[in-house]
Amino acid sequence: MGPDASQDGSTRVLIVDDQRTLLDLLEIVVGQQPDLECVGAATTGKEAIEMAAQHQPDVVLTDYRLPDIDGVEVTLRIKQEQPDTRVIMLTGHTDDPKVMLRASMAGVSGFLPKESPIWEVLTAIRMAKSGGMLIHPAALAAVLAEARNEASPAPQGFGLTQREREVLDLMGSGLDPQTIARALNLSVHTSRGHVKSILSKLGAHSQLEAVVIAMKAGLVKDTTGA
């Protein structure tokens, strides 16, 4: 734990957006939550990377469109130094599946429309801290369709066990470890253990990145309807 890390167990949040009004609102609302702590608010990608290095947030909430570098590059640079930091990307209507695929491969944990209500933003931050995958089913289907188009002609197994393959298939449907545990009659602890092992074997930094890698490798069943 770094010198600037929280001692009370609260989730440390860094907010990144060049729209000052939205940034100020999010900073105030996050700061009012008893289980959340806003450790910084950045208006550029460069500032976000510097603040992340200084404050070591648990969760970064970043816009995709920033005035200097985009949110994908911000994610890549933060995850290189702090792989356990979760990143949620705010997206607009014009962001296409190719952008979302790039972000997924950079290690983003999920996406949130910029017009989302505040309570949804707070829920997403809390889910990200616990390692959940945050993406609307339709968006997940679009991202996996893009990944499928880039699939390797020679499938890779990554040394996954049969049970891990089952867990991975359910992850590909957008299910979280708790729901996967119920579906496979496992304890939540065991389910999370399988997810952690899958991420390690695939070299992924998030559940979403793992699913995308698996789709490219021909490992995930297409259950999204795309």
pLDDT in tens, 114-156: 888 999 999 989 988 877 788 877 788 888 888 888 776 666 7
The answer for residues whose C-beta is within 8 angstroms of residue 77's C-beta and 6 or more apart is: 49
What per-residue confidence (pLDDT) applies to 1?
A: 39
What per-residue confidence (pLDDT) applies to 4?
A: 47
Which amino acid is it at 116?
S
pLDDT tens per residue across span 8-31: 679 999 999 999 998 999 999 999
What per-residue confidence (pLDDT) applies to 46?
A: 96
Using CA atoms, how far apart are residues 87 and 32, in angstroms rounded to an integer? 21
- Helix and strand numbers (H, E) in the chain are 10, 5
What per-residue confidence (pLDDT) applies to 155?
A: 63
At CA 35, angle to CA 18 and CA 19, rounded to 5?
A: 10
Using CA atoms, how far apart are residues 107 and 75, in angstroms rounded to an integer? 7
Q: Which domains does the chain have, with CATH numbers?
A: 11-142 (3.40.50.2300), 156-216 (1.10.10.10)
pLDDT tens per residue across span 85-105: 999 998 875 567 888 899 999
Contact in structure between 79 and 106 (CB atoms under 8 Å): yes
What per-residue confidence (pLDDT) applies to 85?
A: 94
Which amino acid is it at 226?
A
Strand order in the sheet with 59-63: 36-42, 11-16, 59-63, 86-91, 110-113
CA atoms within 13 A on the CB side of 178: 5
pLDDT tens per residue across span 1-11: 344 444 467 99
Q: Is the pLDDT of residue 226 over 90?
A: no
What per-residue confidence (pLDDT) applies to 176?
A: 84
Specify the pairing of strand 36-42 against strand 11-16. parallel
What per-residue confidence (pLDDT) applies to 196?
A: 93
Residue owning tokens 């957008």: 174
What per-residue confidence (pLDDT) applies to 5?
A: 45
CA atoms within 13 A on the CB side of 223: 13
pLDDT category at 60 given cuts 50, 70, 90 is very high
What per-residue confidence (pLDDT) applies to 43?
A: 96
pLDDT tens per residue across span 161-183: 999 999 999 988 888 888 899 99
Work out the average pLDDT over 52-77: 95
What per-residue confidence (pLDDT) applies to 154?
A: 62
DSSP H/E element including 91: strand 86-91
Q: Is the pLDDT of residue 79 over 60?
A: yes
Residue owning tokens 């603040």: 51
pLDDT tens per residue across span 179-224: 899 999 999 999 999 999 999 999 998 889 999 998 888 887 655 5
Tell which residue, 23, 28, 102, has the closest CA to residue 70. Answer: 102
Helix 45-55 crosses helix 71-81 at what angle (to 10 degrees)?
Answer: 20
